[in-house]
Amino acid sequence: RKEVEQDPGPFNVPEGATVAFNCTYSNSASQSFFWYRQDCRKEPKLLMSVYSSGNEDGRFTAQLNRASQYISLLIRDSKLSDSATYLCVVILNTGGFKTIFGAGTRLFVKA
Amino acid sequence: GAVVSQHPSRVICKSGTSVKIECRSLDFQATTMFWYRQFPKQSLMLMATSNEGSKATYEQGVEKDKFLINHASLTLSTLTVTSAHPEDSSFYICSARSSPGTSANEQFFGPGTRLTVL
């Protein structure tokens, strides 16, 4: 089983739609959680950190459920510019810190 | 946010040659840098963790004699792909963490180097 698993995608949605991405992690030593965005042939860029209390940044809302080892990202009112691959990222603390990337979920927002 | 640069951004080389990729943190000191490799439509795979002044820690399955990492200063880490072969063609990305030992800190990524071995 992969340490970080994401929805397979791709997600094809019209502009204005709400789309949700899910991510599960298997290692209980997982300590910090992030969503990154990666555009085609570019480096990943931090979208937002994920906290148990949930956090919102404009149209983006991230949630963490430690009991279920589950992370989510909700995008409201999708824009064409939201088209990208969204990476779920987990940092493990196993004596040293190790970053694990999910395989990513591709999103295509169409006019 | 902090800036990480990589050089070169793109390199095409013949099979058997060695290629050096530089990763620099431009406005902060990075005691730890990470090297990733990403094949098309796949996720980033950590190759090694580079610590300033000490030997790099390689992930399982990554040949340390083929992928030489040097982290000589707090702002520079280099990855040398020795005797490159076509299967080494990939997107190589480095990242740096701004504060050592703090898991919550964001990693800042370089723009990546696209290596094509003919």
DSSP strands (E only) in chain A:
4-6, 11-14, 19-25, 30-38, 44-49, 55-57, 60-65, 70-75, 84-93, 97-101, 105-110
Determine the Cα–Cα distance for residues A22 and A3; give it in Å rounded to an integer. 14
Lowest mean pLDDT among A6-20, A28-42, B4-18, B97-111: B97-111
Q: What pLDDT score does B53 carry? A: 78
By Cβ distance, the residue of A43, A101, A103 closest to B111 is: A43
- Mean local confidence (pLDDT), A64-80: 95
Residue B51: CB atoms within 10 Å? 17
Tell me which chain A residues have a C-beta less than 8 angstroms from the C-beta of B112: 41-43
C-alpha to C-alpha distances, B93 to B18, B30, B36, B113, nearest whole angstrom: 17, 15, 5, 6
- Mean local confidence (pLDDT), B15-39: 91
Buried b or exposed e, range A15-36, using 16+ CB within 10 angstroms: eeeebebebbbeeeebebbbbb
Residue A38 above 60 pLDDT? yes
Lowest mean pLDDT among A23-27, A57-61, A103-107, B29-33: B29-33
Q: Is A44 on the interface with B (CB under 8 A)?
A: yes
Give the chain A residue whose CA is nearest to the CA of B5. Answer: A43
- Mean local confidence (pLDDT), A51-61: 91
Determine the Cα–Cα distance for residues B18 and A22; give it in Å rounded to an integer. 41
Q: For residue B77, give how far its alpha carbon lies from the nearest alpha carbon of chain A (Å).
A: 17
pLDDT tens by residue, B80-117: 999 999 999 999 999 988 655 554 456 789 999 999 99
Determine the Cα–Cα distance for residues A108 and B100; give it in Å rounded to an integer. 36
Residue of A43, A48, A88 to mutate when probing chain B, most B C-beta within 10 A: A43
Lowest mean pLDDT among A45-49, A62-66, A86-90, B28-32: B28-32
Residue A11 above 90 pLDDT? yes
By Cβ distance, the residue of B45, B104, B112 closest to A32 is: B104
